[in-house]
Chains A and B, each alone.
Chain A
């Protein structure tokens, strides 16, 4: 091979190398363009997801406005009673305030495991005996003092004297946990 041919071969090799490099560079550009398109598609999908979430939030807000207003109105009353002692205190205060005679009183705490928002209920069974007006006024007063209290059973019978009335009443007062996360619980269970 003479030097001219050798020079030609070298030039051809050079042309080949340059073409190869250009191809490699072009492939990289194409790959980067594809990445950019994929990133743009992902961003568009994220935008769609955000819009969907926004619509869902707006819809939920509108649909649950009344319920949430109800909760806002009642939560201060629910938060007033947080312990069994506070329930007992309300009964004692009411009895003292109304000057009514109590024959017996007992209270016990019942757990409600299925309900995280109302995890406990204080069940109070009380027997009072006094004049009709006093008994009824006390009954109304305790229901007013404990607005969340639920009278599960009540029995009015004659008292030991003609003027007296005996009231046996069982009242359940819920202890509300305002910080309870009602939604997070099932998710945690699913993960477990």
Chain B
């Protein structure tokens, strides 16, 4: 048997380290609360992030689709504009390409058999191709033949603008500008 007495009673001992202040006791509680809180907020943020990402992708896809549609419409507009410009060019040309043969025939037919049409010139105006410069010489006629010519031309919807006529002996010289009258 040992000389030393050994028993179960523990002698009261002083703390090895100082006790924490009371406020510090809240730290573990704060730690757990922060864990729970951060888990909640981060989950919500994650869901919101995914939703925003999805919305962004959808919006971008919609924008691409709409841009394509707008581009197609712009192309269609450009094509229409091109076609319209062509049509305007052609219409402008055609305005100055009306047949001249009916005019010369109408003038010839307006002459009575005893009167001779010695010269007939029709020139198209360079500035306004729809207008025609008419110049003719009548042998053995009078002013009434000029009236007949104007009547014949009016049937073809042409109006004589600033007509001039002069008579030298038997020859009547007549000049005018023929302007088409639209109905």
Contact = CB atoms under 8 A, between A and B. Distances in A.
A43 B38 contact: no
Interface string B63-80: 100110110011011101
Contacts of A192: none
A18 B69 contact: no
Contact of A32 (B28, B53, B62, B129): B53
A92 interface: no
A158 to B, nearest CB: 6
Nearest to B66: A46
Contacts of A32: 49, 52-53, 56
Contacts of A57: 73, 76-77, 80
A149 B101 CA distance: 12
Interface size class of chain B, counting residues whose CB lies under 8 Å from the partner chain:
35 or more
A143 B30 contact: no
A102 interface: no
Most chain A CB within a 10 A radius of its CB, from B62, B97, B105 = B97
Contact of B56 (A35, A71, A182): A35
Nearest to A137: B101
B118 interface: yes
Contact of A117 (B52, B85, B105): B85
B93 A150 contact: yes
B86 A143 contact: no
A104 to B, nearest CB: 18
A74 B70 contact: no
B126 to A, nearest CB: 8
A71 B83 contact: yes
A152 B17 contact: no
A183 B59 contact: no
Given A139-B101, A151-B124, A36 B59 contact: yes
Contact of A60 (B48, B77, B86): B77
Given A4-B17, A18-B38, A148-B93, A54 B56 contact: no
A187 to B, nearest CB: 9
Most chain A CB within a 10 A radius of its CB, from B28, B46, B120 = B120
A47 B78 CA distance: 20
A111 interface: no
Contacts, number: 204
Given A14-B31, A74-B94, A153 B122 contact: yes
B120 A155 contact: yes
A140 B123 CA distance: 17
A50 B70 contact: yes
Contacts of A35: 52, 56
B81 A46 contact: no
A10 to B, nearest CB: 10
B174 to A, nearest CB: 14
Interface of B: 17-20, 24, 27-28, 30-31, 34-35, 37-38, 41-42, 45-46, 48-49, 52-53, 55-56, 59-60, 62-63, 66-67, 69-70, 73-74, 76-78, 80-91, 93-94, 96-97, 99-102, 104-105, 108, 117-124, 129
24 contacts: A8-B24, A11-B27, A11-B30, A14-B34, A19-B38, A32-B52, A32-B56, A40-B55, A43-B63, A46-B67, A50-B67, A57-B76, A60-B84, A61-B80, A67-B87, A71-B90, A117-B85, A139-B101, A143-B99, A148-B93, A148-B94, A148-B97, A150-B96, A153-B121
